[in-house]
Amino acid sequence: MAHTFRGCSLAFMFIITWLLIKAKIDACKRGDVTVKPSHVILLGSTVNITCSLKPRQGCFHYSRRNKLILYKFDRRINFHHGHSLNSQVTGLPLGTTLFVCKLACINSDEIQICGAEIFVGVAPEQPQNLSCIQKGEQGTVACTWERGRDTHLYTEYTLQLSGPKNLTWQKQCKDIYCDYLDFGINLTPESPESNFTAKVTAVNSLGSSSSLPSTFTFLDIVRPLPPWDIRIKFQKASVSRCTLYWRDEGLVLLNRLRYRPSNSRLWNMVNVTKAKGRHDLLDLKPFTEYEFQISSKLHLYKGSWSDWNESLRAQTPEEEPTGMLDVWYMKRHIDYSRQQISLFCKNLSVSEARGKILHYQVTLQELTGGKAMTQNITGHTSWTTVIPRTGNWAVAVSAANSKGSSLPTRINIMNLCEAGLLAPRQVSANSEGMDNILVTWQPPRKDPSAVQEYVVEWRELHPGGDTQVPLNWLRSRPYNVSALISENIKSYICYEIRVYALSGDQGGCSSILGNSKHKAPLSGPHINAITEEKGSILISWNSIPVQEQMGCLLHYRIYWKERDSNSQPQLCEIPYRVSQNSHPINSLQPRVTYVLWMTALTAAGESSHGNEREFCLQGKANWMAFVAPSICIAIIMVGIFSTHYFQQKRRHSCPWTGS
């Protein structure tokens, strides 16, 4: 490719030279431009430029009418009346500068007489860091060097190689940017200790310079080709019996191997001598994809390493799982004789699973009688069954891959919240940055030293109590009184959080609602029914969709006012409870039409109001306004009704009966 480029460059320069000669013949009919001392000068030198007219080429043959003008590119730098013009020029920049001489006659356009190019440059610096290499035993010798600063002139480089028996090879390049040449010859290993000497010389119009000689042997410059045909074998599908195979050039003596898991940046390095294309690896991890590379060298102390081969990627075989599953459970009473047990387990880490987990084995046993036992195989990390409420039950869960099973995790099924004195105190949940919740608590009143561990459990809050909502948990040491939960935490979602204190076969728990980020709900509750019950009304509503709650709800507000009234509405604020969807109001006047609506509040603010419903109470007035445990605000009018009041009442009296 380099030879082709240099050939094109020389052809291009020949064409340019021919065009310049032709242009000079055409453009210099009227006169000449001469440059002294030379068209090629050293940076900082001064040149004299002379422009002269040929006989009878002036203006009307009168020399005083001839005005010769000298241009540097397109900028006028000097002029003179007569047949010739002399100008001394200094401070020319590196590179090529074009000067053009023109003749100006009265009432006529300027006429070009002739021009000249001046080339400003420097002598070549001594080439540095000359080095030669032969790629592979069958490759050719090629050398590179550093040219030094740009000469800005046509520069020729000559590379010479001298060997034993007065053998000499020489290559040239006439490219100003030349810093590489290939001799096209192959050194053979017949005399591996024979000396060769290379030298490069740079020459241009302003001088020449040669590099220091570089002396080397065959072993010094031959760089082996990268190993090829890389493959790996696992004897009896075992990661502990792994052999890496490859092929090398015949003279290779030393190899270096590097390997790493595909998801790691750190390499494991191994140097081996006289490996003959194979090496055993003993420290690979099971069920892990590895990347392998090999490099080669001809001599322990001389020469250079080959390039690394293209990476080989391979996955090691599986091994039996290690470690034990983290198992948690939930209990739910179905009726007086049955209870539902839901088991959950976390996935083993990759290093513990040591393969693809195919299934989980669950064994459920009644400990008192020792006879009732249930075994189940499931492909999921959760499992639900129904068992009697009587007896003491234990469960064992293990994970299995193609090579075997992990040790079983055994837990006794107990009532996790039965021991009230073990319940953690002052539980709080606060946002801790994006998608994190910090849960804190105080040890239980019972001897804190009895606590063996805390378990913090959380799941998305669903008003319907959906048991299919994923459960999350983490374990905390008994001396910790806080935990940062971040797994499966999303912004604007409310979570039901429980903290369990476990001690032997007893447990106590406390719960709280929490969110990592909140804002005012997007909508208010939808009132679906209003019914009259003994002089009061019962308002029923549909829960706000979870995606519109925007965090944990704190309160509901029920608003009401007389229809067509401009007065401020009365309201009743109800603490939020997950399962609550109705509430009584007993401060309405009979036979008056009211408009009612509801809103919801988070810690960030109040929602817009939900749908409006009208209602007219048919029964007798009830002047007591007490609803426990809510705080209701109502304005009760007591006194003698005036005629105006009765007129207003008649105007708002119910036009219908019933709800």
Digit-coded pLDDT (tens) for 77-91: 999 888 899 999 999
- List, in sequence order, every residue forming a beta bridge with 386; answer none if it has no partner: 340
Give the confidence band of 10 by pLDDT, cuts at 50, 70, 90. Answer: very low
- pLDDT higher than threshold 50 for residue 7: no
- pLDDT higher than threshold 60 for residue 69: yes
Digit-coded pLDDT (tens) for 265-311: 999 999 999 999 999 998 899 999 999 999 999 999 899 999 999 99
Average pLDDT over residues 308-328: 94
List the Cα angle 436/439/445 in 5-degree steps. Answer: 175
Answer whether CATH 3.60.21.10 is correct for domain 224-315: no
Domain 526-617 classification at class level: mainly beta
The architecture (CATH level 2) of 128-222 comes to Sandwich (2.60)
Find the range with the poorest average confidence among 121-135, 155-169, 506-520, 571-585: 571-585
What is the distance between the alpha carbons of residues 439 and 468, in angstroms, rounded to a whole number?
24
Instruction: Find where tokens 């050293």 sit.
Output: 42
Answer whether CATH 2.60.40.10 is correct for domain 27-121: yes
Domain extents in the chain: 27-121, 128-222, 224-315, 327-413, 425-514, 526-617
Find the range with the poorest average confidence among 141-150, 517-526, 634-643: 634-643
- List, in sequence order, every residue forming a beta bridge with 296; answer none if it has no partner: 255
User: So what's the pLDDT on residue 63?
Assistant: 58
Handedness of CA 36, 37, 41, 46 (dihedral sign): negative
Digit-coded pLDDT (tens) for 170-193: 999 987 789 999 999 999 888 788
Average pLDDT, the chain: 86
Burial zone of 116 (CB within 10 Å; 0-12 exposed, 13-18 middle, 19+ buried): buried
Closest CA to 411 of 328, 348, 476, 477: 328
Digit-coded pLDDT (tens) for 153-174: 999 999 999 998 888 999 999 8
Give the confidence band of 18 by pLDDT, cuts at 50, 70, 90. Answer: very low
- Single-letter code of the amino acid located at 322: T
User: So what's the pLDDT on residue 369?
Assistant: 72
What is the distance between the alpha carbons of residues 366 and 271, in angstroms, rounded to a whole number?
59
- pTM for this model (two decimals): 0.65
Residues 327-413: name the CATH superfamily.
Answer: Immunoglobulins (2.60.40.10)
- pLDDT higher than threshold 60 for residue 229: yes
Query: DSSP letters along 99-162, please?
Result: EEEEEE-TTS--EEEEEEEEEEE-PPPPPEEEEEEEESTT--EEEEEE--S--SS--EEEEEEE
Residues 425-514: name the CATH superfamily.
Answer: Immunoglobulins (2.60.40.10)
Answer yes or no: same fold for 327-413 and 425-514.
yes
Give the confidence band of 622 by pLDDT, cuts at 50, 70, 90. Answer: very low
User: So what's the pLDDT on residue 620?
Assistant: 54
- pLDDT higher than threshold 70 for residue 26: no
Find the range with the poorest average confidence among 241-250, 372-381, 389-398, 432-441: 372-381
Strands across the sheet with 95-104, in order?
Answer: 40-42, 111-121, 95-104, 67-72, 75-81
Tokens of 102: 């023109």
pLDDT above 70 covers a percentage of the chain that reads: 88
User: So what's the pLDDT on residue 638?
Assistant: 30
- pLDDT higher than threshold 60 for residue 422: yes
Instruction: Find where tokens 């949940």 sit.
Output: 429
